[in-house]
Amino acid sequence: MKGAEVAVRSMTGYAVTTHETESGTLSVELKSVNSRFLDLQFRMSDELRAVEPVLREAIMKQATRGKIECRLSLARKDASAISHALNSSLMAELARCQDEVRELFPNAEAMTVNELLRWPGMLEDAGISQESLQADVVAAMAATATAFAESRAREGAGLVAMLVERLDAMTVIVERIKPIIPLVVAQFQQKSIERLQEALGLADREGLPAVQVISREEILERIRQEVTLYGIRIDVAEELTRMAIHIEETRQILKNGGAVGKRLDFMLQELNREANTLGSKATAKELSDASMQLKLLIEQMREQVQNLE
């Protein structure tokens, strides 16, 4: 959204990049869908598992919500020519940890050779150091994470445009029915006065002379009380004022940008509350129709807000 301090981002995004390295072709793929919290999943071979913390840190700098899957693969230039070497430092660390465990649990079984060789990061390409490979992964991940964030920001901008369009439509509805409220209340008061006058004996009924059982002043005072109380109950001017305030606050949230999903969800709850109250108080078709239109727009917004970070 133009003028936003921070981009509003969708939780849906996709990016993939490939990089030529000394080890081979390194591919990093990121894709995400909606999730209430940040849920990270990694798909990679055991030889690359040691760089998972680096990938996790890079992703967490770009996203706060969403179910994100990261795929990392390395296509060797010449797989037949690869020679492997043991990661001696990692093997020494595992041996130390095993000794400490077996001091406390003498009957614990020792690690097998197969388990050691399958340990993430134990086998290294003899021609490529783990440090060099990690540096390549960091560079590749940085480019992918940037493209991923841009993808989410582009989709977020589209969702913001849709939400602003709905807010504009809601504003038009609110402004259209504001002038109707005094007319609706006045019409109700007039009809109520006529009905109460007839019921309490101040008007002729079918040509018969009016019969008064209480004084005229008491009757008029009762009419004023009834009309005033019910007029207050059907007056929705306060609800429309609150709705206009909520609409403006929602606009401001979108303008400020950033992680807006949860705040927008709360604002939509408040907007829906006012729309429901408008419908329950409606005494004219115009107000009932306006309430339904507002609730439809709010529901359309709610569906899209679920996609925002």
* Token output for 145: 């994470």
Q: CA–CA separation, 240 vs 199, rounded Å? A: 34
Do residues 23 and 98 both lie within one domain?
no
**pLDDT computed for residue 305 by the predictor:** 93
**pLDDT computed for residue 94 by the predictor:** 82
Tell me if 170 is assigned to some domain: yes
Do residues 172 and 143 both lie within one domain?
no
Total number of domains constituting the chain: 3
Q: Which residue range forms the structural domain that includes residue 110?
A: 88-118
Tell me if 289 is assigned to some domain: yes
Do residues 149 and 94 both lie within one domain?
no
Q: Which residue has the tokens 């560079």?
A: 139
Do residues 100 and 227 both lie within one domain?
no
Banded model confidence at residue 162, pLDDT cuts 50, 70, 90:
very high
Do residues 182 and 63 both lie within one domain?
no
| Residue 172: alpha-carbon gap to chain centroid | 25
Tell me if 1 is assigned to some domain: no
Tell me if 146 is assigned to some domain: yes
Q: Is beta strand 38-44 parallel, antiparallel or unpaired with respect to 66-76?
A: parallel
**pLDDT computed for residue 3 by the predictor:** 43
Do residues 47 and 109 both lie within one domain?
no
Do residues 49 and 182 both lie within one domain?
no
pLDDT above 70 for 21: yes
Banded model confidence at residue 2, pLDDT cuts 50, 70, 90:
very low
**Residues 6 or more apart from 200 whose CB is under 8 A from it?**
214, 219, 222, 223
Banded model confidence at residue 89, pLDDT cuts 50, 70, 90:
confident
Do residues 147 and 171 both lie within one domain?
no
Cα-atom radius of gyration of the chain, to the nearest Å? 35
Do residues 38 and 108 both lie within one domain?
no
Write the pLDDT tens digit of every residue in 229-251: 555 555 677 888 899 999 999 99
**pLDDT computed for residue 275 by the predictor:** 92
In terms of Cβ atoms closer than 10 Å to its own Cβ (0-12, 13-18, 19+), residue 287 is buried
Can you give the pTM of this predicted structure?
0.67
Which CATH number do you get for residue 194?
Answer: 1.20.140
Do residues 64 and 143 both lie within one domain?
yes
Q: CA–CA separation, 22 vs 72, rounded Å? A: 16
Tell me if 259 is assigned to some domain: yes
Tell me if 224 is assigned to some domain: yes
Do residues 143 and 237 both lie within one domain?
no
Q: Taking residues 95-111, what's their average pLDDT?
A: 85
Q: CA–CA separation, 281 vs 286, rounded Å? A: 12
Q: Which residue has the tokens 């969702």?
A: 159
Banded model confidence at residue 298, pLDDT cuts 50, 70, 90:
very high
Do residues 167 and 205 both lie within one domain?
yes
Residue 209 per-residue DSSP state: P
The more confidently predicted of residues 126 and 237 is 237
Write the pLDDT tens digit of every residue in 36-56: 889 999 998 877 887 888 889
